[in-house]
Amino acid sequence: MTDFLQELADIATAVDPLIAELLPTGNGPERRLFEAMHYAALSPGKRLRPYLVVSSARLFGVPDRQSLRVAAAVELVHSYSLIHDDLPAMDDDDLRRGRPTVHKAFDEATAILAGDALLPLAFEILSDPETHPNPSVRCGLIAGLAKAIGAAGMVGGQMLDLHPPSPCAYGDVVRMERLKTGALFAYACEAGAILGEADAAALAALYAFAMDMGLAFQIVDDLLDHDGDEATLGKRVGKDSDAGKATAITTLGPDAARAQAHLLTEQALAHIGGFDSCAKPLRDAAVFVIERRV
């Protein structure tokens, strides 16, 4: 696990300066917007999604200079989603990654605009020939991200999170989490295969791996919200139960939810069993997800 944490840190160290370079700067009337974008996109974080992009791309010999650009785009989308998720109209959170959320550090209108600006910037990065010289590959990256985060993906999952069916069974929670969390994880791994112009079988294996890992990640997140420490996590805990949200915890109970996370991790690892030792970074990521405490 020490090797994994070092590689995770190395990829974060590589992607953060690139994100800073790609973000807009200036002293004009938009300066407050630019500052909010930097505040959100460069806030402390594990950068797990960029790690998945770079690690999956390496399976197919893709240069890091290309995969890091896609990794940056994915992190910008993730940052946009967190900004909007924290808004009073959504989860109404005041703390994220140990710092005030964007709408608290700035204001609600600026937070909304910062999220709105980060999202198209991600697509701008993917459309640039520097990301990949083949326009078909760039179109594949763009189409994949649009599907992963739209009404049939992350945004649809957020809607289900706000308005779940009643009564809500675990199957309903799984559907919500596959859309809200799993879809972007899956895209992160798919993007590496798209960059590498991999075959359909490799693409499907990575998609299935990341989707199961993403579901396990969300269950662990639910467990940490249930019994974690706010100072350690850097965000408010117990918010899901306070809001009466349906989660793996409320529908299965903590012990069964933990067992389900382990089962999903085993399934995730089985999906990439056909890859050789080059897939060790992805296997290490799956183990990290199930063992993490922050």
| Whole-angstrom distance, CA of residue 44 vs CA of residue 16 | 10
Q: Give the C-alpha separation, 276 to 274, whole Å.
A: 7
Distance CA 237, CA 93 (A): 10
Query: Given a cut of 80, is residue 233 above it in pLDDT?
Result: no
240 pLDDT more than 80: no
Give me the DSSP letters along 224-279. HHHH--HHHHTS-SSHHHHHT---HHHHH-HHHHHHHHHHHHHHHHHHTTTS-GGG
Q: Tell the CATH superfamily of the 2-291 domain.
A: Farnesyl Diphosphate Synthase (1.10.600.10)
Residue matched to tokens 């770079």: 54
Which of 229, 204, 239, 22 minimizes the C-alpha distance to 126? 22
Residue 100, pLDDT score: 96
pLDDT digits (tens, 9 = 90+) for 150-206: 999 999 999 999 999 888 999 999 999 999 999 999 999 999 999 999 999 999 999
Is the pLDDT higher at 125 or at 244?
125
Pairing between β-strand 95-96 and β-strand 99-100 as defined by DSSP bridges: antiparallel
How far is C-alpha 185 from the geometric centre of its chain's CA atoms?
6
Give me the helices (H) in 128-199, please: 135-149, 154-162, 170-177, 183-195
Q: Provide the pLDDT confidence category of residue 245 given band limits of 50, 70 and 90.
A: confident
Query: Which residue in this structure is represented by tokens 């050789």?
Result: 276
| Domain assignments of the chain as residue spans, ordered by start | 2-291
CA–CA gap between residue 110 and residue 102 (Å, rounded): 8
**What was the pLDDT predicted at 98?**
86
Two structure tokens written together for 190: 């798919």
Residues 6 or more apart whose CB falls under 8 angstroms from that of 44 comprise: 97, 98, 99, 234
> With contact defined as beta carbons under 8 Å apart, do 290 and 260 qualify?
no
Query: How far apart, in whole angstroms, are the C-alpha atoms of residue 47 and residue 34?
Result: 21
- For the segment 62-78, the average pLDDT, to the nearest whole number, is 98
Q: What pLDDT score does 232 carry?
A: 55
50, 78 contact by CB (below 8 A)? no
137: pLDDT strictly greater than 70: yes
For the chain, give the mean pLDDT. Answer: 93
